[in-house]
């Protein structure tokens, strides 16, 4: 019943009578982005125009810059880290991408070691997300890339909660 920024000051009940506002409501809840957000941000996520999403990211201090932060969130502690792995043990080649929240790189290295064992020894771990990395471009879809850009800029947002993404492909030698 509260007015929402997402619906230009209207309540959700009023907003659901209009197609665009209804779509925004479905997206914000479907993506677990919280109860309110900048309508332009949600529209950019729904857009088929990748340039619009990139322009919003560059012009608004990151895609998630307009997503509301939530009290008690450990935004100053948790950050998005991503890792790429390419390993060959003679029997198998592994190409992998990992993304999760942590306070430092060593937590990510430990997670990767638990999942992949010795194959994770050469992992390249970075803070944030670089969609232009060739292995990332090959393994990660555009929609997941957009989501990771949001998470990188707002690690305390609900969309980031519990993130533990692993994408692997294995080839037998």
**pLDDT of res. 6:** 77
DSSP code of residue 118: G
Across 99-119, average pLDDT = 94
Is-above-0.75 flag for pTM? no
Phi, psi of 166 (to 5 degrees): -135, 125
| Residue 118 included in any domain | yes
Q: Quote the mean pLDDT of the chain.
A: 80
pLDDT for 65 beyond 60: no
Same-domain pairing of 89 and 166: yes
Same-domain pairing of 94 and 168: yes
Across 97-107, average pLDDT = 95
Model pLDDT for residues 36-61, shown as the tens digit of each residue: 777 777 777 666 655 444 444 444 44
158-165: long-range pairs with CB below 8 Å, 24+? 158/32, 158/33, 158/34, 158/70, 159/31, 159/32, 159/33, 159/64, 159/67, 160/78, 160/80, 160/101, 161/32, 163/80, 163/99, 163/100, 163/101, 164/100, 164/111, 165/97, 165/98, 165/99, 165/100
Q: Largest Cα–Cα distance in the chain?
A: 62
Q: Are 136 and 82 in contact (CB under 8 A)?
A: yes
* Reported confidence tier of residue 63, pLDDT bands at 50, 70, 90: very low
Q: Which of 43, 66, 89 is the last residue of a domain?
A: 66
3-state secondary structure (DSSP) of residue 29: helix
**Which is higher by pLDDT, 113 or 21?**
113
* Reported confidence tier of residue 115, pLDDT bands at 50, 70, 90: very high
| Residue 61 included in any domain | yes
Task: Quote the domain boundaries for residue 32.
Answer: 5-66
Q: What is the Cα–Cα distance from 40 to 47, expressed in whole angstroms?
A: 10
pLDDT for 164 beyond 70: yes
Same-domain pairing of 94 and 115: yes
Q: Which of 40, 66, 92 is the last residue of a domain?
A: 66
Q: Is 61 left (phi over 0), alpha (psi -120 to 50) or beta?
A: left
Q: What is the Cα–Cα distance from 136 to 138, expressed in whole angstroms?
A: 5
Across 11-34, average pLDDT = 76
DSSP code of residue 112: H
């Amino acid at each position: 019943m509260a007015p929402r920024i997402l619906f230009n000051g209207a309540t959700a009940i009023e907003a659901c009578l209009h197609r665009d506002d209804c779509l925004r409501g479905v997206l914000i809840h479907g993506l677990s982005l919280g109860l309110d957000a900048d309508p332009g941000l949600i529209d950019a996520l729904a857009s088929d125009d990748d340039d619009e999403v990139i322009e919003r990211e560059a012009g608004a201090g990151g895609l998630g810059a307009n997503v509301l932060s939530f009290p008690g969130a450990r935004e100053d502690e948790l950050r998005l880290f991503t890792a790429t792995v390419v390993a060959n043990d003679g029997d198998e080649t592994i190409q992998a991408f990992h993304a999760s929240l942590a306070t430092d790189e060593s937590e990510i290295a430990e997670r990767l070691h638990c999942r992949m064992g010795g194959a994770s020894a050469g992992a390249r771990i970075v803070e944030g997300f670089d969609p232009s990395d060739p292995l990332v471009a090959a393994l990660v879809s555009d929609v997941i890339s957009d989501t990771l850009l949001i998470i990188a800029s707002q690690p305390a947002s609900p969309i980031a909660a519990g993130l533990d993404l692993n994408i692997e492909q294995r080839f037998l030698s």
